[in-house]
Amino acid sequence: MGKDFDGNTVVFSFTISHSLYTCPGCHGAIEVGGEHTLVRYVEPDGEAWHQHWHRDCARNLEREMKHLQTRPAAELQGRRGPKTGRRR
């Protein structure tokens, strides 16, 4: 989960396709019954849509987004527990 450069919230999840999709990343087909990544976008005003990506293509997308804004899981965990390691 992250934010893209338009300020939209982007959520990645794995899913199985029930019909034939075209991947926006490579414009290739995603076969019926194939595991792929569902990418959901939520705009700041609440409007949402989704796209179907190959897992590999979505990974590239994810990597691009991480350049813009990163929320590492370690940071969230550090807030909850005392396991930050800052004190010796």
Per-residue binding string, Zn ion, 34-73, x by CB under 5 A, is --------------------x--x----------------
**Choice from 2, 25, 34, 78 touching Zn ion (CB under 5 A):** 25
CB-count burial class (<10 Å; 0-12, 13-18, 19+) for 67: exposed
Residue 58: phi and psi, rounded to 5, are: -65, -30
Nearer to Zn ion by Cβ, of 10 and 23: the residue is 23
Q: How far is CA 30 from the centre of its chain?
A: 18
Minimum Å gap between C-beta 9 and Zn ion is 22
